[in-house]
A = this chain, B = another copy of it.
């Protein structure tokens, strides 16, 4: 036997037609039980596997989803945002559970992601994962919509299509962080992240935080805010600039754990004690949050559930059914950095 066995080979050995083999292997009720058993047996002996390309071509679907990861570029390309990695894990498992394969692809935020995975029938739908909105992000999403490409987004919203987004309740997370600091009587708060709508997720976290303090009559002044993207380095430098500007605060809310970790490092280097002098709260609950010293209080996003919802919603869309906007509840994890 040269090359791989085909359904014709099985047909030959079983003494039936290829059509019958195809039906038997898919357990069609049309075939006789005895025939079905014989075909399965021979298939197993020949180590036969259905050719996915032929099958997909005929049925016009691929049983495959594509995960497109958009990342802020970092100096060290091999380091991936741990939060996304965690999502990747849960998405992979969710796909497996639903019997779908997963194609993974990193997209440089600058590059022209043609997102041709679905057009080329490599995948039935796309999962878009990444912070914020990049150059042309919305217009590219619009192209996807125009092409009737099925996709769901994590975090970032799609104009007029809230149903395509699965996201953590970032605003609610910001509220949790603020309430916790109010409980701890630490209301002279700084914020590090991106308080513009350039990065919608970070902005929502900030708004929830700010609004909650405001309700208590406390303002977060512009002086106490610094921009950062979600890397340790960026958080470190943003915090240093606050310190250099002689900004005073007794609590700090970071838009992500990586930022918070960088912030703690900058604070400690400046001789500021955490949590004694400054309470720090992060966002995401990445693994490292439990390892840093002091361990980091943070707002947890349930990545397991998130991955499951992304896959579920996408599959629903692919089936042509409607989905509703999905907002996942955040949860405060209190650790040493704020007590």
Contact = CB atoms under 8 A, between A and B. Distances in A.
B105 A92 contact: yes
B80 A89 contact: yes
A105 B101 contact: yes
A57 interface: yes
A304 interface: yes
A25 interface: no
A48 B119 CA distance: 8
Contacts of A261: 291
Nearest to A59: B53
A140 to B, nearest CB: 13
A121 B51 contact: yes
Given A57-B57, A106-B96, A90 B119 contact: no
Interface in A79-94: 79-80, 82, 85-86, 88-90, 92-93
A119 B90 CA distance: 26
Contacts of A142: none
Contacts of A92: 104-106
Nearest to A76: B304
Copies in the complex: 2
B79 A85 contact: no
A270 to B, nearest CB: 18
Contact of A49 (B79, B101, B120, B287): B120
B104 A104 contact: yes
A53 B47 contact: no
A332 B103 CA distance: 35
Contacts of A56: 53
A303 interface: yes
A78 interface: yes
Contact of A121 (B53, B292, B304): B53
Given A104-B92, A106-B92, A116 B79 contact: no
Interface of A: 4, 47-54, 56-57, 62, 64, 77-80, 82, 85-86, 88-90, 92-93, 96, 101-106, 114, 116, 119-122, 147, 261, 287-288, 291-293, 303-304, 307
8 contacts: A49-B116, A53-B122, A77-B304, A101-B105, A102-B103, A102-B105, A103-B104, A292-B292
4 smallest beta-carbon distances between A and B, as pairs: A293-B293, A49-B119, A53-B57, A49-B120
